[in-house]
């Protein structure tokens, strides 16, 4: 079974502070990991995926297979980063197609 | 390029009734996935349709069913509604069924069962 755990419901930081949103996963194969973000009154959208290894809006995430983690990091938080962040895992279903399993999400609040 | 749209935005149903939710996929996309998001939870996968066939299903009972049409739009049907079915229902479309294809989400339909 595949599972994604985001231990923090809420993370509150001041502008300019470093941010780390934690994500741990459980999956027996080789997973693909994603971070999705939902800004206020907007729809859920992809922020980044581990396979692309790129930085989006200053955020990075490294897949650590030994610790089964995919934490999202940003060195200096901005107020516009305030949003709900979901970590998601894609594993191959029996049919051979992939499904997304989401964590419960972490609300990031960046105060001025 | 038109994004994913869902209808209706909100609806209220009574326990035991049936409901149909609709999703129009983004232009050029042939895959639609449906998710249920209960309050305070992340989206939970219901099923996926690829080229009009169901090709993946999550842990939901058979009273959750769906369709995909030749234009790749999709419907989610829920029979014998229960109070626990109250949730935000999201659909997402993509160019293909594997994880290499980004899923684009709609705004969701808020279903309340009383």
Strand, coil or helix: A33: strand
Which tens digit of pLDDT belongs to each residue from A16-38? 999 999 999 998 888 889 999 99
Report phi then psi at B67, rounded to 5: -145, 150
Interface residues of A toward B, Cβ cutoff 8 Å, are: 4, 6, 32, 43-46, 51, 86, 88, 90, 93, 95-105
Q: What is the pLDDT of residue B7?
A: 97
Q: CB-based contact (8 Å) between B105 and chain A? A: yes
pLDDT digits (tens, 9 = 90+) for B92-110: 999 988 877 889 999 999 9
- CB contact (8 A) between residue B48 and residue A99: yes
Which residue, among B39, B41, B42, would best test binding to A if mutated, counting the most A CBs under 10 Å from its CB?
A: B42
Residue B42 touches chain A, beta carbons under 8 Å: yes
Q: Are A72 and A46 in contact (CB under 8 A)?
A: no
pLDDT digits (tens, 9 = 90+) for B23-57: 999 999 999 999 999 999 999 999 999 999 998 89
Interchain pair B43, A86: CB under 8 A: yes
Q: Is the model's pLDDT at A93 over the cut of 80?
A: no
pLDDT of residue A91: 76
Q: Can you tell me whether residue B84 is helix, strand or coil?
A: helix
Q: Which residue of A has its CA nearest to B36?
A: A102
pLDDT in tens, B81-90: 999 999 999 9
- Inform me whether the pLDDT recorded for A43 exceeds 80: yes
Burial class (CB in 10 A: 0-12, 13-18, 19+), A67: exposed
pLDDT band of B4, cuts 50, 70, 90:
very high
């Amino acid at each position: 079974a595949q599972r994604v755990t985001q231990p923090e419901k809420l993370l509150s930081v001041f502008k300019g502070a470093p941010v780390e949103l934690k994500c741990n996963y459980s999956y027996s194969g080789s997973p693909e990991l994603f971070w999705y973000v939902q800004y206020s009154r907007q729809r859920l959208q992809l922020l980044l995926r581990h396979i692309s290894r790129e930085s989006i809006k200053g955020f990075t995430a490294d897949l650590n297979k030994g610790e089964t983690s995919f934490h999202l990091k940003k060195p200096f938080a901005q107020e516009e980063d305030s949003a709900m962040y979901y970590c998601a895992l894609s594993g191959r279903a029996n049919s051979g197609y992939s499904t997304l399993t989401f964590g419960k999400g972490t609300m990031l609040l960046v105060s001025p | 390029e038109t994004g994913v749209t869902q209808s209706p935005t909100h609806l209220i149903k009574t326990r035991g009734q049936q409901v149909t939710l609709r999703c129009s996929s983004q232009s050029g996309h042939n895959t639609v996935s449906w998710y249920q998001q209960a309050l305070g939870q992340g989206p939970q996968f219901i099923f996926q349709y690829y080229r009009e066939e169901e090709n993946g299903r999550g842990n939901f009972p058979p009273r959750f069913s769906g369709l995909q049409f030749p234009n790749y739009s999709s419907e989610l049907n829920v029979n014998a509604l229960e109070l626990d079915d109250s949730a935000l229902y999201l659909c997402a479309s993509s160019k293909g069924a594997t994880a290499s294809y980004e899923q684009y989400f709609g705004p969701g339909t808020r279903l309340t069962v009383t």
